[in-house]
């Protein structure tokens, strides 16, 4: 035992040595407190085309409401023709037009484009297309030979639209779609020449980044833009192909973006969604799409302005609207990583005592040591993620089983609870100490194995609880246990446990759906507490753990059954910190709430158990007396 105590002291000292890396991350997150609300220019323009409002009036209204940025897509000749900026004809169009005038023109195959009246458009088209100029009667045309030119392919960014955006002090986000090599290069070259402090963001469209699937092209194009002063947007919950290559080759200079469609939820729900994204998930850009219903121009614009104003009003005071900033760079030194790896290796060795085998403890030690050595030799992030996954799985198991000794006193029970929290804190520090850096904070690199963290501890604790009985049953019947009689209630219990297990697993991660009542309760907790504690922690996990300790302390072995749901609280707080894009301050506050509320609810559970137990004993005594 004394030897183990010394190991614990060494683990704590090693983690103290790794604190500078965690503090650096904390400061980087705290300093990133500017967010923007952005909208697509094309949706605003479409809105004005169907109503009496001009694009200038719409932009003015949105800017006054607090809109910060506008995204702009490149346009094609076909789109300019549809907007009436130019008229585009081919050889046959001209021949048909001249046929009725009695005039002739020896037209070559290609596109004939009317010269726009606007000087900006003329200069832009001449610079982008390098067209010939031909005279047909009294009208001048730009001419582009047929060749391989595609009039539906983007030729660049509308300069007049860009001027409209900048006239209202709005930041410009350039959209880019992955097209053919020539078009990609043309758009990149144009962006390099157009870059200004108010126009230096790039947001990729559809499912791919520019240059995909060729890593060299991704790096070449994005490095050119990055070197020119552009940064990129990472869309939350959208896995654009090639994005990880982009991040790794551009120092993770990205902003995290959350997309919202107005009209799909109530206004208050949508505002809460945006605010929660900023304060809880380090989102720096809220990208808003206008309602897609049949509403009027005025009603859609009112929806947008109400949302924008509502978000600014509901946002916590420590956040400011404006042009968002990139995260400060986080550098994790080799010495810091050595401290964390060493702490993790020793911590795993200590947790392996649960299997009561010196050999398995040694195997665990060597396995973790090999993972650490493999990382330093290869620099492969996979070894980091594997090491962190093992720590995340064993931490809640050890926290629960190490502290589940008999105790009938509330004071001793409280100390055991704090001991379990302390063990969890050590495991959490190892995980966040390892998975630290720009890639993890921005969301490019992630913790792998979230589902395993939710399942492995529960399965292990269940096996641990039933191990003695299962072993005795097997020793008595051998494989004949498979032939034992199964009753209907056995099947019913199995189905209930299976249904609960499936529901539990489905609710993990971001895909689980919550009921309307649960959403209302969550929103109320967030309004009151800033961030809501997890219900699985303070209403299920921690109370069941405390009640389990109390019942075990009364000498009743069935209390061990409550350790199975009890481990949920501890695995959940570990999981909270594996969401590496969530600020540490938010995860810490949420966990503190859960620990405190879970303790209070646990005491209530114990009180209710006492009352029920006394009532049961009293009634059983009366029944025995009567008989």
Q: What is the pLDDT of residue 15?
A: 96
Do the domain assignments include residue 305? no
Q: Does residue 370 sit in the same domain as residue 341?
A: yes
Assigned domain for 624 exists: no
Joined together, the tokens standing for residue 627 give: 């008989």
88 vs 80: CA distance, rounded Å: 9
Answer whether residue 341 is part of any domain.
yes
**Cα first-last separation, the chain:** 53
pLDDT for 93 equals 79
pLDDT at 421 over 80: yes
Please say whether the beta carbons of 545 and 563 come within 8 A.
yes
Q: Please check whether residues 68 and 90 belong to one and the same domain.
A: no
CB 172 within 8 A of CB 166: yes
Q: Which two tokens stand for residue 359?
A: 């050999």
Residue 61, domain member (yes or no): yes
Quickly state the pLDDT bin for 535 (edges 50, 70, 90).
confident
Quickly state the pLDDT bin for 501 (edges 50, 70, 90).
low
Q: Are residues 472 and 530 in the same domain?
A: yes
Same domain? 437 vs 572 = yes
pLDDT at 311 over 90: yes
CA distances from residue 176 to 120, 326, 463 in whole angstroms, order as listed: 22, 20, 53
As a whole number of angstroms, the distance between CA 265 and CA 288 comes to: 13
Residues 427 and 495 in one domain: yes
The number of helix segments (H) and strand segments (E) in the chain equals 25, 14
pLDDT at 614: 72
**pLDDT value for 615:** 74
Q: How confident is the model at residue 239 (pLDDT cuts 50, 70, 90)?
A: confident
Bigger pLDDT: 139 vs 373: 373
45, pLDDT greater than 80: yes
Cα–Cα distance measured from residue 402 to residue 165, given in angstroms and rounded to the nearest whole number? 62
Measured from the Cβ of residue 263, the count of other Cβ atoms closer than 10 Å reads 15
pTM listed for this prediction: 0.87
Report which of 227, 247, 223, 251 is spatially closest to residue 235, judged by C-alpha positions. 247
Which CATH number characterizes residue 64's domain?
A: 3.20.20.370
422 and 460 co-located in one domain: yes
* 303: CB partners within 8 A, 6+ apart: 262, 263, 267, 290, 291, 295
Q: What is the CA radius of gyration of the chain?
A: 32
Q: Per-residue pLDDT tens for 434-461?
A: 999 999 999 999 999 999 999 999 999 9
Cβ atoms 330, 437 nearer than 8 A: yes
Q: Specify whether 291 is located in the same domain as 170.
A: yes
Q: Of 114, 145, 176, which closes a domain?
A: 145
E strand residue ranges, 41-138 = 69-72, 75-76, 88-90, 110-114, 132-136
Question: Are residues 239 and 103 part of one domain?
Answer: no
Is the pLDDT at 295 greater than 70? The verdict is: yes
Q: What is the pLDDT of residues 48-70, one digit of tens each?
A: 887 788 999 999 999 999 999 99
Residue 307 lies in a domain: no
More confident residue, 383 or 148: 383
In 3D, which of 581, 576, 579, 571 has the Cα closest to residue 532? Answer: 576
What's the mean pLDDT in 550-577? 90
Give percent above pLDDT 70 in the chain: 87
Task: State the pLDDT at residue 47.
Answer: 87
Is the Cβ–Cβ distance between 155 and 74 less than 8 Å? yes
Kind of pairing, strands 110-114 and 88-90?
antiparallel
Tokens 């399965």 locate to 459
Shared domain check, 200 and 126 = no
Q: What is the mean pLDDT of residues 219-237?
A: 95
Residue 232 has pLDDT above 80, yes or no: yes
Question: Does the structure show a pLDDT above 90 at 359?
Answer: yes
Checking if the pLDDT of 31 tops 80, the result is yes
Q: State mean pLDDT over 15-35.
A: 94
Averaged confidence pLDDT in the chain:
88
* Domain with 379 in it: 2-23+330-618
Asked whether residue 304 is domain-assigned, the answer is: no
Note the pLDDT of residue 145.
87
Give the H/E segment covering residue 14.
helix 2-17
Q: Give Dmax over CA atoms of the chain in angstroms.
A: 122
Same domain, 558 and 580: yes
Q: Which positions ≥6 away from 386 have C-beta within 8 Å?
A: 371, 448
Measured CA angle at 182 (ends 177, 187), to 5 deg = 50
Q: Is residue 216 part of a domain?
A: yes
130 with 45, same domain?
A: no
Number of domains in the chain: 3
Give percent of the chain with pLDDT exceeding 90: 65
Say what the pLDDT of residue 623 is: 57
Exposed, middle or buried by CB within 10 Å (0-12, 13-18, 19+), for 617?
Answer: exposed
Co-location of 458 and 587 in the same domain: yes
Within-domain flag for 133: yes
Tokens of 609: 């158990």
């Amino acid at each position: 035992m004394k030897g183990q105590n010394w190991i614990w002291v060494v683990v704590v000292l090693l983690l103290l040595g790794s604190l500078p890396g965690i503090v650096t991350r904390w400061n980087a997150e705290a300093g990133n407190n500017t967010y923007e609300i952005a909208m697509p220019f094309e949706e605003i323009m479409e809105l004005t085309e169907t109503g009496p409002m001009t694009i200038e009036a719409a932009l003015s209204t949105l800017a006054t409401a607090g809109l910060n940025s506008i995204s702009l897509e490149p346009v094609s000749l076909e789109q300019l023709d549809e907007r009436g900026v130019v008229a585009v004809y081919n050889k046959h169009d001209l021949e048909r037009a001249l046929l009725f005038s009695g005039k002739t023109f020896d037209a070559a195959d290609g596109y004939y484009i009317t010269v726009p009246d606007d000087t900006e458009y003329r200069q832009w088209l001449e610079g982008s297309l390098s067209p010939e100029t031909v005279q047909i009667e009294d009208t001048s045309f730009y001419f582009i030979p047929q060749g391989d030119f595609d009039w539906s392919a983007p030729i660049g960014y509308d300069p007049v639209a860009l001027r409209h955006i900048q006239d209202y002090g709005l930041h410009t986000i350039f959209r880019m779609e992955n097209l053919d090599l020539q078009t990609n290069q043309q758009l990149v070259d144009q962006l390099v020449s157009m870059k200004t402090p108010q126009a230096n963001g790039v947001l990729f469209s559809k499912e791919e980044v520019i240059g995909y699937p060729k890593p060299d092209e991704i790096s070449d194009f994005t490095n050119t833009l990055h070197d020119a002063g552009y940064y990129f947007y990472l869309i939350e919950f959208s896995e654009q192909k090639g994005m990880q290559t982009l991040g790794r080759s551009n120092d993770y200079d990205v902003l995290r973006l959350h997309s919202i469609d107005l009209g799909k939820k109530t206004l208050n729900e949508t505002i809460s969604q945006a605010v929660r994204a900023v304060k809880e998930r380090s989102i720096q850009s809220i990208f808003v799409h206008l309602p897609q219903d049949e509403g009027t121009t005025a009603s859609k614009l009112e929806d947008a302005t109400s949302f924008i104003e509502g978000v600014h009003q509901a946002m916590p005071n420590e956040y400011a609207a404006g042009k968002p900033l990139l995260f400060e760079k986080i550098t994790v030194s080799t010495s810091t990583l050595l401290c964390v790896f060493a702490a993790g290796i020793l911590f795993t060795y200590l947790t392996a005592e649960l299997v009561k085998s010196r050999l398995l403890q040694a195997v665990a030690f060597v396995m973790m040591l090999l993972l650490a050595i493999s990382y330093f030799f290869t620099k492969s992030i996979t070894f980091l993620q594997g090491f962190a996954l093992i720590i995340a799985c064993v931490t809640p198991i050890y926290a629960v089983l190490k502290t589940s000794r008999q105790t009938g006193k509330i004071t001793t029970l409280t100390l055991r609870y704090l001991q379990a929290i302390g063990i969890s804190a050590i495991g959490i520090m190892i995980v966040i100490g390892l998975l630290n850096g720009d890639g993890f904070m921005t969301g490019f690199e992630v913790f792998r194995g979230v589902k395993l963290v939710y399942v492995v501890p529960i399965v292990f604790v269940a096996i641990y609880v039933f191990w003695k009985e299962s072993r005795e049953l097997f020793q008595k019947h051998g494989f004949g246990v498979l032939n034992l009689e199964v009753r209907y209630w056995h099947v019913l219990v199995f189905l209930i446990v299976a249904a609960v297990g499936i529901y539990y697993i489905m609710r993990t991660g971001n895909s689980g759906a919550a009921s309307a009542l649960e959403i209302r309760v969550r929103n109320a907790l967030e309004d009151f507490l800033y961030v809501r504690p997890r219900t699985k922690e303070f209403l299920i996990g921690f109370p069941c753990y405390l009640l389990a300790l109390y019942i075990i302390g009364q000498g009743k072995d069935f209390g061990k059954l409550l350790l199975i749901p009890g481990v949920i609280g501890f695995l959940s707080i570990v999981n909270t910190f594996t969401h590496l894009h969530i600020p540490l301050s938010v995860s810490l506050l949420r966990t503190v709430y859960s620990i405190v509320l879970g303790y209070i609810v646990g005491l209530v559970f114990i009180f209710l158990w006492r009352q029920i137990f006394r009532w049961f004993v009293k009634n059983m005594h009366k029944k025995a007396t009567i008989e």
